[in-house]
Amino acid sequence: MIQFGRTFRLVCDEPAVPVVEGLLRAQGFDFGPEPFYAFARRLIHEPFPLGESLAARFGLIYIQDRSSMLPPLALNPPAGADVLDMCSAPGSKTSLLSRLVGPQGFVFASEPSADRLGTLRANLRRTGSVNAATAKAMAQDLPFADGAWGHIQLDPPCSGWGTVDKNPKVMEVWSGAKTAPLVSLQKTLLEKAAAMLRPGGTVLYSTCTTNIEENEAQVTWALKTLDLDLAPLAEPEGFVFEAPHMPGMDGVLRVAEDSDGQGFFLARFVKRGGESATGGGSAQKRDLPGTRLDLARMVGGDLLDLTRLPPGEVYDFGGKAFFLHQRALDLVPDGLRWQGFPLGKAAGKGDRAKFTPAPLARVLLPEDPSRAACDVLDADDTAVLERLFTGQSVPFKQGGGSVGLYYRGLPLGWLARKGGRLLCSAK
């Protein structure tokens, strides 16, 4: 069995893995691979909190319990797929889905709590999830048409009994009859997911509880009540699984509490009625409240590599420039307020319109710093990065405008220039 340790995943493409791992090791971290996902790692040595590492601050890694990574991996959307994440905050699974579907794919995430929505958006921004959009909405009230989605992730509110190691009082808070409202909500969300799923589509239901009423009993209810069939899941390597606690549950996964991670339950359903189409429904076209931007024609636009953006448009909403994925423009119905990926700030009009990239909009930097139109600070060690992230400035040649920041050729984000010094305002 793998020795227990904190787990995280790399948020980068395969060629960048050695660079991100090198950045972690340069700060004294040691880690090993996890067998169930090529980008998952298990900490062996943590000289200071991993969340304060440069890799975490720049969104190159995401700290996540190993069991929590399983739902997106079990849903297994193909590259280019559209995915609805019904209960998204804090964004751990949402950002992993974003990586799985790639820039041509799309993830829509809903969250009813304003505070948790802020956390979700911050995590998506930090991880560079430019192919995601978010909305403040209760998942059961989402106005998508029936059959609009081919892949849905449903990780609903639950009693959390599987997190007792981190939350010792969870069994007291959610015990006995106290779980009844959760069970009722889960049924409502499952019913809504089944309605929004198109024939042949897949919904992955998961909880971080060991409570049978929220797990196997919900599967039994869904199979009897909804137009869903159970699609068996293979057991990922490196986990310990318990047998289902009810008969007729072949293929559901119950991650044991001694599995070096949270206790988790996963069930995958397929909607009856034929093979899933590769496309999806379209919403009625409507005018957006903002102003469409052509970044290439704006002052500062010549510094950007716009070829790395997925298909979509950029809009100015009150001086903030957001990327709106084309699938969001096609799928999101009128009346649902949503937000794309923040790219930076827009100011002025006409020939004097200016764009300033956001610190974490690394998608606008070319992958090869030698091809950058902007000035570039390419650090070979961590000293410069550590100074920048502690609020210090670093000297740089005189000039104006933003500067691209790289670490050994890996795009990190953008720096502000003040006179002959550079500042980092990434958060």
Structure tokens at 88: 């998204």
- Are 214 and 179 contacting, i.e. CB atoms less than 8 angstroms apart? yes
Catalytic residue (one of 12, 87, 158, 208): 208
H or E segment and range at residue 214: none
**Dihedral sign of CA atoms 307, 309, 312, 315 in order:** negative
Question: Which residues touch 127 (CB under 8 Å, ≥6 apart)?
Answer: 11, 59, 62, 91, 95, 98
- Are 411 and 404 contacting, i.e. CB atoms less than 8 angstroms apart? yes
**291-293: strand order across its sheet:** 291-293, 312-317, 320-325, 341-347, 354-357
Whether 374 sits among the annotated catalytic residues: the reply is no
Q: How far apart are CA 406 and CA 377, in angstroms?
A: 6
Among residues 93, 96, 91, 85, the alpha carbon closest in space to that of 119 is found at 91
Question: Which residues touch 213 (CB under 8 Å, ≥6 apart)?
Answer: 179, 183
H or E segment and range at residue 12: none
| Total length of the chain | 427
Catalytic residue annotation: 208
